């Protein structure tokens, strides 16, 4: 299960939406916070086709991004991890960062069944140097 979570963050960092979606069950559900500062509504997203639309919309907000999990806590099919995300906004070139907690429910096949993202707020200015 931990491998799936690490793959998710790795593929998100690369902006590979289809590779991210391969980690989800067909009927998976994602629950995401609103991020009005980057024009992401958030909410409940059900099914792989809707997840595709959500993630395609999200990755197009950035020209470069990096997602990194903190310590993975879990047992069996339930996991939680902090996430640190940094990105360069496509529209302005500004650099932002997010910190949140992800809660994962996995299927017996090791795929994501439910992903809930809990956030304390919108992006803040980051202090990293973007990859070129």
Pairwise CA distance, residues 6 & 38, whole Å: 25
**Angstrom distance (rounded) from CA 31 to CA 34:** 10
* Band of residue 126 on the pLDDT scale cut at 50, 70, 90: very low
Q: Is the pLDDT of residue 47 over 90?
A: yes
CA distance 116 to 54: 14
Percentage of the chain lying above the pLDDT 90 cut? 68
Percentage of the chain exceeding pLDDT 70: 90
pLDDT at 36: 81
User: Where do the structural domains in the chain lie, given as residue ranges?
Assistant: 2-125
The number of angstroms, rounded, from the C-alpha of 92 to the middle of its chain's C-alpha atoms is: 21
Q: Provide the whole-model pTM.
A: 0.86
Q: Helix, strand, or coil here: 37?
A: helix
pLDDT band at residue 120 under the 50/70/90 scheme: low
15, 23, 29, 102, 132 from 63: Cα distances, Å: 9, 23, 26, 23, 10
Mean pLDDT of 26-52: 91
CATH of the domain spanning 2-125, picked from 3.40.50.300, 3.10.450.50, 1.10.1740.10, 3.30.70.890: 3.10.450.50
Model confidence at 41, pLDDT cuts 50, 70, 90, reads confident
């Amino acid at each position: 299960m931990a491998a799936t979570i690490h793959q998710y963050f790795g593929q998100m960092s690369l902006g590979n939406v289809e590779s991210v979606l391969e980690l989800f069950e067909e009927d998976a559900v994602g629950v995401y916070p609103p991020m009005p500062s980057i024009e992401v509504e958030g909410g409940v997203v059900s099914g792989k086709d809707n997840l595709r639309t959500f993630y395609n919309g999200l990755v197009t907000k950035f020209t470069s991004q990096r997602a990194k999990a903190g310590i993975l806590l879990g047992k069996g099919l339930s996991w939680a991890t902090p996430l640190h995300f940094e990105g360069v906004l496509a529209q302005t070139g500004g650099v932002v960062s997010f910190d949140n907690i992800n809660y994962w429910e996995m299927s017996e096949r090791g795929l994501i069944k439910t992903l809930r993202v809990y956030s304390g707020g919108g992006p803040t200015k980051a202090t990293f140097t973007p990859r070129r």
